[in-house]
A and B are shown apart, each in its own frame.
Chain A
Amino acid sequence: MSATFMGMPAFPEAARAATGDAQLRHNLRKATRTIRDKRAAVVEELDDWAGLRAAGAAIKNRTLRHLDTYLERLEEAVTAAGGTVHWAADAAEANAVVTDLVRATGHDEVVKVKSMATQEIELNEALAEAGITAYETDLAELIVQLGDDTPSHILVPAIHRNRSEIREIFRAKMAEWGVPAPDGLTDDPRALAEAARTHLREKFLTTRVAVSGANFAVADTGTMVVLESEGNGRMCLTLPETLISVVGIEKIVPTWADLEVFLQLLPRSSTGERMNPYTSTWTGVTPGDGPQEFHLVLLDNGRTDTLADQVGRQALRCIRCSACLNICPVYERTGGHAYGSVYPGPIGAILTPQLRGTASEIDASLPYASSLCGACYEVCPVAIDIPEVLVHLRERVTEGGGHAAERTAMAAAGWVLEDRRRLTLAQRAAAKARGLVPRRLPGPGAAWTDTRDVPDIPAESFRDQWRRRESGAPGRNERKKRGGRR
């Protein structure tokens, strides 16, 4: 993936810039806290949440461990129901398949339902090169598209924009794409939503080809499932003549009945609602109702590499709810752009380096974009142990030869810490130099002392004091009432 995100600075640098942006911090704080509280309230409502979560994780594990079986089953069911299945090993293949399918219809415009998979493969850019215009129809995606911007959140891609910024984007850009923004447009969210309705209605009623993703693909029935709120999804999935769905191979659930788990887990975890306003399911084509041509494009694009890693594999359980973003103290302060990928936040920090590898600077920095506080794991509806995978990927980065200076320092620290005699000597040396520690440290230490004071180093380590006590000699610090200031 990713021409758009190429040349991104590594996470720490992008994050530093983001933490200095007061407007961004304010927007993010307000948005993540609102949604966090809503989620907590509706999850609290279900007394068996832990059981649902365990079931969700297990269903996905079953799928992943037997993915070849389920992919073939899905293909068979979709084909039997009148759909056509295509396979794409990478972004280029998927984009070529979709481009050819659109061309075959004779149309040069498509309406799109918000889809992470098509963002990941940068389908819109590929279609544009082929002379096909893709219209994003989710309100937030529209804001991102009109603003020539990139999404910064899985569920609320324009979370970094506030209402007045959105009004400016609508006023400046809507006319270029179709129906212009009304005169006197205010920054009231109602007015902005109304402007989007008018702008997009023309597209919905006239465009003959739609592109979507899917939240779930049911292997035994061939059913696709899309959850949404605005009705743009229903419009795209119902009115056009041709529907093309690009779906990652990990989106499968084995049976229709399995949806009883995910249709409870996903809405409550993502928007903090008991149920999202609209969910559409369809199986192949239905005569007289909806698109009469349906194509399913099954996308690999790095997923099999992820699947091959027995620790990292669990990241493919992700149902893209974004609860981990909303709870993450790091995401709250940096926003999504710092992660340099369409998958930001904790899930992005483990998914992106697996899909793309850890060769680039940004990808190698992502596993470190976390304090390992564990809040993401706690809210994940499919129990992805994100901290475990982060640490696992850090091992991959260090073993891949990255971080040479750190590697040396860590090896040296390990050598000292492995042996109590060496540790004792190091502690005594530090204690001797204690008077020399400046208030502001030079070099890498400055990262600490820029904002924090360092603790005073005591005259004697605990182990030296203990040895003194055991040998009966009075210690220098032992049982002194006042320890050093921290």
Chain B
Amino acid sequence: MRIALFITCVNDTLFPRTGWAVVRLLERLGHEVVFPEAQTCCGQMHYNTGYRREAQRLAVGFVRTFADADVVLAPSGSCAGMVRDNYPRLGEPGSRLEAAVAEVAPRVLDLSELLVDVLEVTDVGAYFPHTVTYHPTCHGLRLLRLGDRPQRLLRAVRGLELVELEGAAECCGFGGTFAVKNAAVSAAMGSDKARHVAHTGAEVLCAVDNSCLMHIGGTLSRQRAGVQVLHLAEILASTEEEPASP
């Protein structure tokens, strides 16, 4: 299958290795990954902060860039959620944007949806001999309704031990500009999340969103908790020959 990668601006700029993990994984499974170079950003930060016009312009760019793609993979639960859940609110009724969104948005998937629902695979042949706990990000949980897809993928990884995270469904406190606008509350939430993660005794915290991982990981790192954070794609791309480092 030919899969268009929407890397997302955060991954593009700060976490290219997540992008390469996706490419390695999908190519290993026999699929073709294309990267439409006109892509930029889904506009989530603008939309969520109240800058609708900027978000609309970015949405126009997105639907134009991915108009011809059969399936668009966004390795970020919140960006996929932005397109699927919020883009339909951005186009004025009867507008070209509204029509284009109705076409494109349903084809935008998170990695676990692509693997489990479209490619119908849960054992991706990965090897990762470490203890892992999983944080089901808010947008993955409540917008995309990923359910246990990520956990099913993780459980099928050879050598991986998945441990439960207390208070898993609770927000980590990132929330985009919330982390800066309400820094004290964001930090208090992040600190509680980091404490729960540390309590699991896991070596690695996994999620489908690098933004949340940046926040929780930054807190864990500041607290010298000794827990590393990895995007789901990096664990699933990991093999004996090319292991991901915890």
Q: Among the listed stretches A78-86, A125-133, A236-244, A389-397, which one makes contact with chain B, having 4 or more residues with CB under 8 Å of it?
A: A389-397
Give the top 10 A-B pairs by smallest Cβ distance, nearest first.
A371-B175, A394-B50, A452-B218, A483-B17, A414-B54, A373-B171, A447-B183, A462-B16, A16-B184, A374-B142
Instruction: Kindly list chain B residues whose C-beta atoms are within 8 Å of the C-beta of A430.
Output: 13
Whole-angstrom distance between the Cβ of B173 and the nearest chain A Cβ = 6
Verify B173–A329 contact, CB threshold 8 A.
yes
Report the interface size for chain B: residues with CB under 8 A from the other chain.
72
Q: A-facing mask of B179-192, CB < 8 A → 1, else 0?
A: 11111111111110
Q: Can you list 22 contacts pairing A with B, beta carbon distance less than 8 Å?
A: A12-B185, A369-B182, A371-B189, A373-B175, A375-B138, A378-B142, A391-B47, A391-B50, A395-B50, A396-B50, A420-B37, A420-B38, A447-B179, A448-B183, A452-B187, A454-B218, A458-B14, A465-B16, A477-B17, A478-B20, A485-B221, A486-B229
Verify B52–A395 contact, CB threshold 8 A.
yes
Within 8 A of A (CB), among B101-141: 138-139
Verify A451–B219 contact, CB threshold 8 A.
yes
Q: A-facing mask of B134-161, CB < 8 A → 1, else 0?
A: 0000110011000000000000000000
Instruction: Kindly list chain B residues whose C-beta atoms are within 8 Å of the C-beta of A414.
Output: 46, 51, 54, 57-58
Instruction: Kindly list chain B residues whose C-beta atoms are within 8 Å of the C-beta of A37.
Output: none
Instruction: Kindly list chain B residues whose C-beta atoms are within 8 Å of the C-beta of A467.
Output: 37
Verify A453–B218 contact, CB threshold 8 A.
yes
Verify A371–B173 contact, CB threshold 8 A.
yes
Whole-angstrom distance between the Cβ of B110 and the nearest chain A Cβ = 16
**Which of A11, A368, A417, A427 has the most B CB atoms < 10 Å from its CB?**
A417
A399 to B45 Cα, complex, angstroms: 16
Verify A329–B37 contact, CB threshold 8 A.
no
Report the interface size for chain A: residues with CB under 8 A from the other chain.
72
A450 to B217 Cα, complex, angstroms: 14
Within 8 A of A (CB), among B28-87: 35, 37-41, 43, 45-52, 54, 57-58, 61, 86
Verify B12–A450 contact, CB threshold 8 A.
no
Any B CB within 8 A of the CB of A45: no
Q: B-facing mask of A469-486, CB < 8 A → 1, else 0?
A: 000000001111111111
Whole-angstrom distance between the Cβ of A15 and the nearest chain B Cβ = 5
A448 to B221 Cα, complex, angstroms: 13
A446 to B232 Cα, complex, angstroms: 29
A interface, CB within 8 angstroms of B: 11-12, 15-16, 19-20, 25, 329-330, 333-334, 367-375, 377-378, 388, 391, 393-399, 406-407, 410-411, 413-414, 417-420, 423, 427, 430, 444, 447-448, 450-455, 457-458, 460-463, 465-467, 477-486
Any A CB within 8 A of the CB of B96: no
Verify A448–B178 contact, CB threshold 8 A.
no
Any A CB within 8 A of the CB of B2: no
A329 to B191 Cα, complex, angstroms: 12
Whole-angstrom distance between the Cβ of A406 and the nearest chain B Cβ = 8
Verify A411–B173 contact, CB threshold 8 A.
no
A482 to B20 Cα, complex, angstroms: 12
Whole-angstrom distance between the Cβ of B229 and the nearest chain A Cβ = 6
Whole-angstrom distance between the Cβ of B73 and the nearest chain A Cβ = 13
Instruction: Kindly list chain A residues whose C-beta atoms are within 8 Å of the C-beta of B39.
Output: 420
A450 to B184 Cα, complex, angstroms: 10
A461 to B185 Cα, complex, angstroms: 32
Whole-angstrom distance between the Cβ of A136 and the nearest chain B Cβ = 30
Whole-angstrom distance between the Cβ of B217 and the nearest chain A Cβ = 5
Verify B218–A455 contact, CB threshold 8 A.
yes
Whole-angstrom distance between the Cβ of A293 and the nearest chain B Cβ = 48
Whole-angstrom distance between the Cβ of B111 and the nearest chain A Cβ = 15
Verify A463–B7 contact, CB threshold 8 A.
yes
Verify A481–B20 contact, CB threshold 8 A.
no
Instruction: Kindly list chain A residues whose C-beta atoms are within 8 Å of the C-beta of B183.
Output: 12, 16, 447-448, 450-451
Whole-angstrom distance between the Cβ of B43 and the nearest chain A Cβ = 8
Verify B58–A375 contact, CB threshold 8 A.
no
A410 to B44 Cα, complex, angstroms: 12
Whole-angstrom distance between the Cβ of B98 and the nearest chain A Cβ = 16
A396 to B46 Cα, complex, angstroms: 13
A427 to B175 Cα, complex, angstroms: 23
Whole-angstrom distance between the Cβ of B177 and the nearest chain A Cβ = 8
